[in-house]
Each structure stands twice: as C-alpha cells, then as structure tokens.
Amino acid sequence: MQNSMTAQPVWRLEIILPTAEACEVFGQALDDFHFAAAAFEIVPDEGPWRLECYVDGMPDHDRLVAAIALASLQAGIKEPEFTCGPLPDVDWVAENQKSFKPIRAGRFFIRPSHYEGVVPAGSWDLTIDAATAFGTGEHATTKGCLLAINDLVKRIRVERPLDVGCGTGILAMGIAKAWPVAVMASDIDAEAVRVTRENTIRNGLRGRIHAVTCAGFRHRALNDNGPYDLIVANILANPLRKMARDIATSLTPGGHIILSGLLVSQEGAVLQAYRDQGLHLKKRYRINGWSALVLGE
C-alpha cells in the first residue's frame, strides 16, 4: 500500500461515501488524479466513510466531476457532494515527523529518529521517519504485517524472503530483524526504493536488503533470486488479486505469503484469487477495518 508524496501545492479532495466498497470504487476511479489516498470510517462499525485524496495541484474541475459521476454509477450510489481545496503551505513531512510516536507491534519497536526514550529490552528496534514513501508502522495494514512476521518467526524458518511494494522498507527490515537472511524488496515507485535503501543503512542493515524498482515481478533480479519461501505484499486489494498467479508461482513449496492493504470487506475476493492458485488462509489480523492475511498450502 505505497504512494509517494510530491512537492507543493497539494490539494485535498474529500468525499463522504456510504460504504468501504464505495471508497474502493472511487479510489480507483480517481487514480489518475491523486498521488495518495486514504479512507476512514467516520463512526466505527457504522459508517459512513470519508475518502481523502491528495492531488498535486488544482485538478481539472470538469474531468473530476466526470470521474465522480462515473464512479457513482459503478458503485451504484447517488452522486456524492465533494470538497476540494489547497492545503496550507506546510512541510507535511516535517509535521508528520513531529507527531510520529513510537509504535509496538509484537517484538517490533518502531520509533522516529528524534526519539530519546528507552528502547524496550529484547525488542526489534527500527528507526523510521515520516518520509516521501509510505510506511512508518502507524497504518493498520503495516502493523498487521509486522504482527504476522512476529508470529511466523516462532514457527517457520525463512531463507529467501521478498517484500513486494516495499515503501519505506519497514517490512523488509522487519524480516531482516526477525531472521538472519538477506531480503529482496521491490516497489513501482523509484522514490520508495531510494527511501528503502536510505533506511536500510540507517538501521544498520547495509547489504541485507536489495531493493529494485519494478512493477510486479517484471525484474530480472526478482526472478533470479526466487523462488521465495516468504512473500509479503502490502499494496491494495485489486493489485493483490491480479498478482495472485505471479506471487503463487514465485513461492516455494511450503512457503508463506502475507497479504495486506485490503479492507475486511475485500477479504473474500482476495482469498478466492489465491485459493484458485492452491493457497489457503492460515491466519488473519484485523485492525480498524483493515486486514492482513497469512496464506500457505
């Protein structure tokens, strides 16, 4: 689930929608407009949902209205009202860094570089700052993946892991902390790969993580280093479904997959795509309406 931020000016588009499924439809329909998007349930377990899309500059009004009208038809709902306006000229990365507090996820302790407190004894310590790539451990999808890694290390041995959609590299680094192995990592966004490499050095993992820029599995390094006995993919529901065959064929017999970036309501569709590849649900983690799934044979 990794998107990069761009330079100012940034505009925020906000739409109130009745369901999580509608948010997914609108998020995809508006994909050409935004560089990042997030959905939040306004009243937990009741809805409605607020979709926030962040746009690089003022969007074309007519194109935006047309896209929202089309999304409404696809979602089968009445065309919603929306607001769109420029955000204040603020260094959002710096602001996020100030507000980012340490996070616990099993043995993982994720902290910003300015943290001066005590690191719990026996924890897997990771330093991650809010940056131009997604993934500080704050989002439920990332936390779910970290919890899955935390639990899997007690049961399985990993020798060839892969992190698809690495963002800041937090999950690749989490794997490297949990098992004494080298980790392949990839992201469609070159900026995310740059941030991953930077964080790898910051966390004393130089040489342990090899990050490449590519879409899906279209990179020689990914194919040359496979198959993998652990694949983590924290992206979005539709890409997870489309990549099911590639992920399954890149997995060693007896290997495990961690999938996240999907809403609880999207579990069924994603699971079916992987069941079609002979894989089955081993465990799920649900946090704030989001899901992380552990799959295997």
pTM reported for the whole predicted model: 0.72
- Phi/psi for 268 (5° steps) reads -60, -45
Residue scoring higher pLDDT (197 or 87)? 197
Residue in 269, 238, 214 with CA at minimum distance from that of residue 1: 238
Residues 216, 39: Cα–Cα separation, whole Å: 24
103 to 124, 262, 283: CA distances (angstroms): 11, 21, 22
Kindly report, residue by residue over 269-280, the tens digit of the pLDDT: 999 999 999 999
The DSSP call for residue 31 is: T
Asked whether the predicted pLDDT for residue 132 surpasses 80, the reply is: no
Task: Give dist(CA 163, CA 170) in Å, integer.
Answer: 10
Structure tokens at 156: 């399985």
Neighbours of 226 (CB within 10 A): 17
> Would you state the torsion angle of the CA atoms of residues 265, 269, 275, 279, taken in this order, to the nearest 10 degrees?
-50
Q: Over 50: is that where the pLDDT of 119 sits?
A: yes
Q: Which two tokens stand for residue 283?
A: 């465990």
Q: Which domains does the chain have, with CATH numbers?
A: 10-89 (3.30.70.120), 139-296 (3.40.50.150)
Average pLDDT along the chain:
86
What pLDDT digit, counting tens, does each position of 153-191 carry? Answer: 999 999 999 999 998 899 999 999 999 999 999 998 888
Instruction: Determine the Cα–Cα distance for residues 89 and 8; give it in Å rounded to an integer.
Output: 7
| Mean pLDDT across 186-201 | 90
Q: Is the pLDDT of residue 3 over 50?
A: no
